[in-house]
Amino acid sequence: MPDMIHSSHSKKDLLELINTFQIDVIGAGDQSRQRLGINLWNKVLEDMNYSDTHYDAREIHHFLHRRTPSRGFPTRLRIIGFDKVRNILHYAKDCNYVVHLSNYDRFEDILEDAKYLANFGDEPSVRRAIKLFNKDAKLEDIIEPKISPKVLKSIQERERIKKDTRPRMKVKTGDFTLSFD
C-alpha cells in the first residue's frame, strides 16, 4: 500500500472505520490488512465522485493518508517508554516513594519521566504508573495521562459493564416468618 494508507493504521482500525461509516467493502473481515487497505482506498476514491454517500469520502481519504491518532508508544520508543514505566512502578511500589532506593538520582528526574509518559495514556501500564505516581506526597500537581477518545470510550464501557454485572444486595424490611423443617 505505498502512499495510500498510512502504515500506522492497523487492520482493526480499518475494520472499525468500515463499520462506523458503513462503507460497503465486501468480505472485509476475511482480507489481509494490505488487501483490506487497497479495497477500502479504492472504495473511498470511487465514492469521492458521488455526493449521495452518507459519509464524507474526502475526510476519510485525508484520515487514511495521515498517521492514526492513537497515542500508544511509537515502535522506536517502545523499549524506552516501557523502561520508564518500569522505573516509576519500581519507585512507587518497591521503593515506597523513596528516591535514593530507586533507579533515579533526583525527584525531578522521576517527575520528568512521568510527564513524558503522560502523553501515552492509551497504554494501560502508563495509566497505572501515573496513577501510582500521583499518590506520592512530594508531588505538588497531579499528572493526568492523555487518553484518546476511542480508548476513553472503551474504558468507560468496561466500567459500566463491571458496575452493571456486580452483584447487589437488596434489603427488604418488614415482618418475616422463618420455618425450619
The span from the CA of 50 to the CA of 109, in Å, is 55
SS3 106: coil
The span from the CA of 126 to the CA of 116, in Å, is 10
Helix axes 57-65, 11-21, angle to 10 degrees: 170
**Alpha-carbon distances, residue 30 vs 27, 47, 60 (angstroms):** 6, 22, 22
- The reply to whether 178 falls in a domain is no
- Residue 79 is part of which domain span? 72-165
Task: Verify that 80 and 129 share a domain, yes or no.
Answer: yes
Residue 68 contacts residue 9 (beta carbons within 8 Å): yes
Task: Verify that 161 and 77 share a domain, yes or no.
Answer: yes
Residue 90, all three cell numbers = 519500581
The parts of the chain modelled with pLDDT lower than 70 are 1-3, 48-57, 69-75
Task: Verify that 27 and 50 share a domain, yes or no.
Answer: yes
Q: Quote the pLDDT of residue 2.
A: 42
Q: Quote the pLDDT of residue 45.
A: 75
Quote the DSSP letter at residue 30.
G
Task: Verify that 56 and 87 share a domain, yes or no.
Answer: no
Q: Quote the pLDDT of residue 54.
A: 55
Burial label for 107, CB within 10 Å (0-12, 13-18, 19+), is middle
* CA triple 118-17-161, angle to 5 deg: 60
**Alpha-carbon distances, residue 126 vs 55, 108, 168 (angstroms):** 35, 18, 32
Could you tell me the pTM of the whole model?
0.63
pLDDT digits (tens, 9 = 90+) for 116-148: 999 888 889 999 999 999 999 999 999 999 988
Number of domains in the chain: 2
Task: Verify that 35 and 96 share a domain, yes or no.
Answer: no
Distance in Å from the first CA to the final CA of the chain: 76
Q: Quote the pLDDT of residue 1.
A: 44
Residue 72 contacts residue 122 (beta carbons within 8 Å): yes
* CA triple 61-145-132, angle to 5 deg: 150
- The reply to whether 1 falls in a domain is no
